[in-house]
Every structure is written in structure tokens, then in C-alpha cells.
Amino acid sequence: MATAVGASVAGCQAPSNPLQSGSGQSTESGAETGASTAAPDSAAPSSLSSRYRDAYGAVADSVATVRTYTSSGRGGQGSAFVYDDQYLVTNEHVVADADEVYVRYRDTGWIESSIVATDVYSDLAVLGITRKPDSAAPLSFVDTEPGVGTEVVAIGNPFGLSGSVSAGIVSGVDRTLPAANGFSISDAIQTDAAVNPGNSGGPLVDLDGEVVGVINSGGGDNIGFGISAALTRRVVSALADSGDYDHSYMGVRLTDLTPLLMEANDLDTSEGVYIDEVVPDEPSDGVLRGSTDEELVNDVETPVGGDVVVRMDDTPTPSRQQLSSFLALETSPGDTISVELIRDGEVRTVDLQLGERPPAES
């Protein structure tokens, strides 16, 4: 539904010795390497360093290394963390296609686990806890979206180096990440904390030790992403309760307004989401309108005639990110929402009953 930020997954690295490679790069993920800093164990220079140590100390026992094996003998690894006394959270791509799953906490050997449920559209998965140390307590999630600039640490197992921590800030919010079938993961968190293969599924936490996101991917120097706490809470609770999570679906192809679109469609606003296509026989068919033609603007063929969505219920939708986050966090399939839009230069409101995203292609 939205053009996603380019990123490569930061997990599912084949178990190996990272010190055997001069470059330290993983050919499987393509993620840029960055130094993951082991938790400080010497005496302390600054108050901020002390807060990093405190955050690490509050969280590290609850983070596990995940190792997976397929029936063909292939293996991969990532990270996970304790959600409650029954379940761990990790990424779907960490355990995808796995036939056997093992986890290891900071002070244990390998413990066999099971895949309880997965959701490819949020890249989240729930693993069953068979046993764990008493010190591996459930981690809590932030109640509100972290502000840009919030100090955070990523804790996980980059390149199999268990219990590693890297520090940074929240670099951005409301990002979109690629998901199956051309859809996107909404409301993602961007960070400059070092994220490498093996970090996927681990927690990104603030300095109070609360989870702000589930590490998902790295896209280059000082750019990493995580599934937001808000989306994780919503999806994981459903996966744990019922084994499934249904994502709302409009059945449209969207694009942000550009100067060319504004000129071609004679729009006075730059805030809104343009509907380029309505999928036949899906929820928006007969309710919303996609492009009806194209016009040449500055020698560029530009679509015209589509609706411009400016509000859903009481939520403004100035961009695809805000529209997608509203659908992901505030709605469920079957809900009827009020859509305020601009059509043929006039503002109007229509009611739209949301559907459910189609099953992901295997």
C-alpha cells in the first residue's frame, strides 16, 4: 500500500565464526557492518554510560539467541526476547521455513523451542517457552511513540556474538518497511544504533529498559529499523491468543501527492494521499475512485482523476505513512470508516468497510 524504505534483513545469518572473515560482512543480508559494543564492565566515566549499563543490565537476561535448522540441514540465527512467561518474540524472517528452533539465554545452554505463530505482514513471530532462567523476566513496552532523538540501545546477537549492545537514538518514526505481496509494514522505528546480521528479533529499548521496537533490518551505515512497540503489542497478543492476526485492507494502490500530481489534478493542497488504482471486487471498488486518465505535465505522463484521501475518521492523512499507520493501529477487518476525500475539486465523505489482506504468497 505504500512505497517502502529499502532495507535488508538483519537476521537469519548462518551460524559461523565472524572473526574468520576479514570484511565482517554477511553475504546473506547485505547489511552494512558496524561495531557492536559489548556491555561496559569497567568503571565508569559518565552518567550517560551508567544509564547505558543500567539499561543493558535490566534487559540482557531476557534476550535470547535463536538458532534454526531446516530439514535439509541449513541453519540460521537471530535474536528474541521474553514477552511473558509463555512466549518469546522474534521476527518471522528469523524462523521462516525452520523445522527446529533452539534458544539460548545468557546463562544457559541450548533449549529446544517451538514456533507458536507467525505473521509475515508484520515480520513478527511468537515462540513457545519450555523453560527459562528466573532472571529472564518479560520486557515491558513503551506506552507512547518515542520522540525523535530518544536515546536507545539495541541488544541481541550480531554475527552470533551473544549479549551485544549498541547505542544510538531514534532517528525517525512512522517509517514503512517492505512486506509480502508488495504490502508494507507500517509505523516502523528508525535508529542509528548499529544493527547487523543476527540482531533481528532482538529488542530496541530506551534507557528505562522499555521496548520501543523489535529490530527488523539494516539498510546502510547508521540506519536500522524496528517494528514499533504499538504494532508489536497488537500483533503479538493476537498471535499468542489465536495463532493469527488479520490486517485491514482497502484494495487500492496509493501514492503521495507530488507537484506534478497537484498540477495535473488542479489541486490546491499538498497534503493527502492519491488513489492511483482501485482493485476490482475489493473493498474500495465502487466507493473510491482511481485514476481515469493521464496528462502530460513537463513531458511526464501523470495520472489524473483519482480521489485524494485527506482524512480517515478523525485522523488526518497527509501522507501514505500516516494513512498506513492509522489502518494498522486503529482498525480491523470489517470496520466501517469515514473517508474524507477530494474528487473533481470537491470535498466529500464516503463510508468504507475494510476487508482483510489476502494470504501471503508462499
User: What is the rounded distance in angstroms from the CA atom of residue 112 to the CA atom of residue 102?
Assistant: 4
Residue % of the chain over a pLDDT of 70? 86
Q: How do residues 5-21 score in pLDDT, each as one tens digit?
A: 344 445 444 444 332 33
Q: How do residues 199-256 score in pLDDT, each as one tens digit?
A: 999 999 999 999 999 999 876 678 999 999 999 999 999 999 999 999 999 999 999 9
Q: Which residues of 296-334 are buried (b: 16+ CB within 10 A; e: fewer)?
A: ebeeeebbbbbbbbbbbeeeebbbbbbbbbbbbbebeee
Q: Distances in Å between the alpha carbon of 160 and those of 16, 36, 104, 194?
A: 7, 11, 11, 15
pLDDT of 217: 81
Q: How do residues 154-196 score in pLDDT, each as one tens digit?
A: 999 988 888 889 999 999 999 999 888 889 999 999 999 999 8
- What pTM did the predictor assign? 0.85
What does pLDDT average to over the chain? 87
pLDDT grade for 47, boundaries at 50, 70 and 90? confident
**Mean pLDDT value of segment 338-361:** 95
User: What is the rounded distance in angstroms from the CA atom of residue 355 to the CA atom of residue 353?
Assistant: 7
pLDDT of 361: 72
Q: Assess contact for 342 and 308: CB atoms under 8 A.
A: yes
pLDDT of 362: 53
281's grid cell:
471486487
User: What is the rounded distance in angstroms from the CA atom of residue 193 to the CA atom of residue 196?
Assistant: 10
**Mean pLDDT value of segment 42-53:** 68
Q: Distances in Å between the alpha carbon of 3 and those of 6, 122, 213?
A: 9, 15, 21
233's grid cell:
503489542
Most confident segment among 127-131, 179-183, 295-299: 127-131
pLDDT grade for 352, boundaries at 50, 70 and 90? very high
Q: Which CATH architecture has domain 8-242?
A: Beta Barrel (2.40)
pLDDT grade for 1, boundaries at 50, 70 and 90? very low
Residue % of the chain over a pLDDT of 90? 76
Superfamily of domain 248-356 in CATH is PDZ domain (2.30.42.10)
Q: How is residue 5 annotated by DSSP?
A: P
**Mean pLDDT value of segment 346-351:** 97
- Other beta carbons within 10 angstroms of residue 269's beta carbon come to 12
Helix, coil or strand: residue 128 = strand
pLDDT grade for 36, boundaries at 50, 70 and 90? very low
pLDDT of 262: 96
Q: For 124, phi and psi rounded to 5 degrees?
A: -120, 150
Least-confidence region, from 113-117, 214-218, 261-265, 281-285? 214-218
- Count CA atoms closer than 13 A to 229's CA, side-chain side: 18
**Mean pLDDT value of segment 29-39:** 34
Positions marked catalytic: 93, 123, 200
Residue ranges of domains in the chain:
8-242, 248-356
In terms of pLDDT, which residue wins out, 107 or 137?
137
Q: Residue 307 is which amino acid?
A: D
pLDDT of 46: 58
User: What is the rounded distance in angstroms from the CA atom of residue 170 to the CA atom of residue 150?
Assistant: 5
Q: Assess contact for 204 and 58: CB atoms under 8 A.
A: no
